[in-house]
Amino acid sequence: MGDAVLASWRPGATRDAVLAFLEVAESLPLEQRVACFDNDGTLWCERPTYVQYDFFVDALKTAVLSDPGLAAVPEFAALLAGDRAAIGEMGLERIAHELTRLFEGRSPEEFTARVRDFLGRATHPTLGRPLRSNTYLPMRELIAELRARDFTVCIVTGGGTEFLRAVSQDLYGVPPENVVGSLIAYDFVPTPADGAGPALTRTARLVAGANEGPNKVTNIQTQLGRRPIFAAGNSGGDREMLEWAAAGDGPTLALVINHDDADREFDYLGTAETVPDHEAITDVAARRGWSVVSMAHDWDQVFDSSP
C-alpha cells in the first residue's frame, strides 16, 4: 500500500494496525465486510455541543418568534437563557424530548429540508468553521479505503436517525438506509375524503430508547442484520458496539478516537453521557487491546484545510 492510502495519518502503531486490517480483510467474503462508525466525536466534532443539539436550539429560536409562549416552557427557557445549571439538572434526555416536540406533525421531507438548511448556514461557535466542514479528514479517508475494499459502511449514532440520514450521503457517502440511530416514531395519516393521499407525520415518541450502549448492538442486528468486523467510536456509549465487533470471527478491528488535541480540536475523555458507564473508553481500550487514535499524534491533519 502506497503513501496515498490514509494520507492524513502519521506513521505509527495505530496506522499500521488499520493498514494491516484493511489488507487481511480483502480475503474475506463480501458479506462479512461490514464496518460501523459512531458519528458524534468519531466522524465529526461534537464539542462544545452536539450538532443536533445546535440544530434544535436554532429551530427553537425560530419557533419562539411565531409562538412566544414556548419561551415559558421550563426546558426551553433554560436553553434560551443558556442556563447550564438548569440544563444539567433537567438532563439531556428530558431536554431532547421537549426539543423533539418542535417537529411534531411535520413530514419527513420537511424535517430533512430543515436539517439541510441549518447545516448549509451554521458555523461552529469556537472553531469558526462551517458546521458541515467539521468532519474528520482522516476518518473520511478510512471510510474511502473500506469502501474501496467493498465494505458495507454504516453509521451507528446515538443521535436522531432522520437527522443524520438527511446528510449522511453528502458528508460520508453513506446512504440513509445504512444509518442506525435513535428512532422517532411516525404516525400514518390515511387518505382523507378529498383524496389528497396518505401522509407520514413525526411524533415525539422515541422508539425503544436512545441508541446508546447495548442498544447499538441490538439495533445493528434488527436494522442492518449483519455483524460488523470493524467498529469505531469515541465514548462509553460505543463500548458494546466495539466489543461486539472485536469478538467476531476472523480479522476484526475496534478503533477508539481519543480527543487529546486542544490546539486543533478539543481535549476531553470519552465517557458516556446517556448510559450508566463512567469509565473512559480509552481505559477500556487499553485493557482490551483495542487500537486507539491519538488525534494529537496520529493525525497529520484533523479537518480539511479549506472548509
DSSP string, 62-94: HHHHH-GGGGGSHHHHHHHHT-HHHHHHH-HHH
Report the predicted TM-score, pTM, of the whole model to 2 decimal places: 0.94
Q: Are 117 and 110 in contact (CB under 8 A)?
A: no
Domains in the chain, start-ordered, CATH in brackets?
Answer: 13-48+134-182+208-298 (3.40.50.1000), 51-105 (no CATH)
Q: Are 36 and 241 in contact (CB under 8 A)?
A: yes
pLDDT 10s digits, 240-274: 999 999 999 889 999 999 999 999 999 999 876 66
* Residue that wins the pLDDT comparison between 21 and 193: 21
The 10 Å Cβ neighbour count of residue 58 is 15
Average pLDDT, the chain: 94
Cβ neighbours of residue 77 closer than 8 Å, sequence gap 6 or more = 71, 83, 86
Task: Give pLDDT, residue 5.
Answer: 94
Cis peptide leading into residue 192 (ω within 30°): no
Q: How far apart are the C-alpha atoms of 50 and 1, rounded to whole Å? A: 36
Q: Are 104 and 204 in contact (CB under 8 A)?
A: yes
79-106 burial, b at 16+ Cβ within 10 Å, e below that, comes to beeeeeeebeebeeeebbebbbbbbeee
Confidence of residue 2 (pLDDT cuts 50, 70, 90): very low
Confidence of residue 3 (pLDDT cuts 50, 70, 90): low
